[in-house]
Amino acid sequence: MSDSPDDMDLGPGFDLGEPPAPKAVAPGQSGYRVLARAYRPQTFAELIGQEAMVRTLANAIKRDRLPHAFLMTGVRGVGKTSTARLIAKALNCIGPEGQGGPTIDPCGVCEPCRSIAEGRNIDVIEMDAASHTGVDDVREIIEAVRYATVSARFKIYIIDEVHMLSRNAFNALLKTLEEPPEHVKFLFATTEVNKVPITVLSRCQRFDLRRIPVDLLVGNFRMICEKEGVEAEEDALRLIATAAEGSARDGQSILDQAIAHAALVDGRPQVGADQVREMLGLSDRGATRRLFDQILDGDAPALLATLAEQEALGVEPVATINALLDLIHAATTAKAGRGAGLERLPEAERADVAGWAETLSFPVLHRLWQLLLKGHAEVVAAARPHAACEMALLRLVHAATMPDPLDLARMIRDGVPAAAQGVAGAPQLAAGGGASESAVVAPTPAPQAAPEPLFPADFGTLVAALIDRFPRLGAEMHDYVSPVRYAPPVLEFRILQPLDADFPRQVAAALKDMTGEPWTVSSTDAPGEPSLREQQQAARQAHEDALREAPVVAAVMNAFPGATFVEPDQDQNWSDRR
């Protein structure tokens, strides 16, 4: 008697018949893949924004100088895991004829290329270190590397988010990572390279993947829209690319959402800039330019009305602040670079930004930038963000027309009334009896020659002004410069520590920006006075020496050997320190 199922009589009702056909999938649900997966790079030519890394890999493959361990690092969505898979294909490709070797242009049609792309190659092992963090997981790798490959040229281990491995797991991997078998390659990817032990970093060839520029992202999104049959405005794609912050995956996810959100025209989605702006809660660029004009004009009622309109449209206060920061940055860079960067702006903005760059001075632009940065922090931390945004922009309204401190000093020196210089709310010069009889008295111009330019009184005052306006430059002048000659507008100093080769030129440019007058700045080897930092240290030491001579302090120092003087925290009272 046979035991095979075909020979068994299961009785009536047990005829299973043919196996059922796969269930049909409704149209529109047939395995849709999100754009970030569907358009993942399959060749190095499709990997955007990483040309330097691709060139290095191409040369390494061509010259047979392949390392045994690669480390890809960078922010989210720039192509770390995709690059690891591409390297795996490049190392294992055998070409359409089956006779090829490692290449920077894998064919994509041979069995290793196809199996790696489909994630089924037995010799290419991907591991997520976030869910496999322990020594046991690494021990499996250590045991498996001893065995030869099954079908590929190299056995490749791709470990994503490698920084999540435990300390013991890293230590267990070190020896194998340093001297792996010839047929094994390690490909690591991480967003937090600072958490990877230095002992691991020193055993890997590191590639820092860069944020992808906006223009490249726009081109990528345009290509995707053409293939998907989507109509998209150029400004809409640029908004998405800007919101992506250099991440291709983030941008493609936002584009996916925008296509789903778009209206259909003749059966094709139409992605518009206004729709993307509404979807992302971004401030309208026209409204942002209007806000900036109202700030410069000092028109507080109009500014509050515009902010109310933006709030009604659902625009987040932080988005409003960010949009204004972008405008000020564009105007400042255009002024510094004589129009540089204007071509990247939307056409409707170029004339306005160019006008602001022409009419606004650097001090005004820098002051607005600093006040907006302070406002940004306040809005983020505030319990009422909209109110905080209003207060921050009203502060800008009253600060935008303030004169530069040096201009104000010149006005005071020359006796020119502030009102004549356009300073709102400045006191007027009055003469006579009561208030009803007072009148503005204009100063009589002196017949002598024009007054000399107003310069800081001494080198210390000059450096203090530099620190206020140019913090890095001022700090270097304070710590590493010995003044030899200070005779404005001539400055000669000795550099005590290596600085930039064009440091004197930088100082001259900064002083001209501060005073409005050209300076002659030079460095010399001649001896000069101690640096301001050395002077402060000497004064502090003299003060401590004087304190030590006081009987009470001497008694304390004797009672507590090794005690030292500590500067009190000026920003915290003693009751808080207890």
- Spatial neighbors of 159 by CB under 8 A, at least 6 apart, are 126, 127, 129, 165, 186, 187, 188, 189
Helices (H), 185-316: 198-201, 214-228, 234-244, 248-261, 273-280, 285-297, 300-312
Q: What is the mean pLDDT of the chain?
A: 81
Q: Is 187 helix (H, G, I), strand (E, B) or coil?
A: strand
- Spatial neighbors of 221 by CB under 8 A, at least 6 apart, are 232, 237, 240, 241, 251, 252, 255
Contacts 24+ apart (CB under 8 A), 330-334: 331/356, 331/357, 331/360, 331/365, 332/357, 332/362, 332/365, 332/366, 332/369
> Per-residue pLDDT tens for 268-295?
888 988 888 878 776 667 788 888 988 8
Set out the domains of the chain in order of their start, with CATH numbers: 36-208 (3.40.50.300), 214-280 (1.10.8.60), 295-399 (1.20.272.10), 459-529 (3.30.300)
> Per-residue pLDDT tens for 347-370?
667 788 888 888 888 888 888 899
Higher per-residue pLDDT: 259 or 566: 259
Give the lowest-confidence range in 18-27, 79-88, 361-370, 492-501: 18-27
> Per-residue pLDDT tens for 46-81?
888 888 888 998 899 888 888 999 999 988 888 898
Q: In this model, does residue 574 exceed pLDDT 80?
A: no
Look at the pTM and tell me if it is higher than 0.75: no
Three-point CA angle 44, 45, 51, nearest 5°: 75
Distance CA 417, CA 398 (A): 19
Axis-axis angle for helices 347-359, 317-336 (nearest 10): 60
Distance CA 452, CA 138 (A): 75
Helices and strands, counts by H and E, the chain: 24, 13
Distance CA 252, CA 230 (A): 14
371: its two tokens: 């006040």
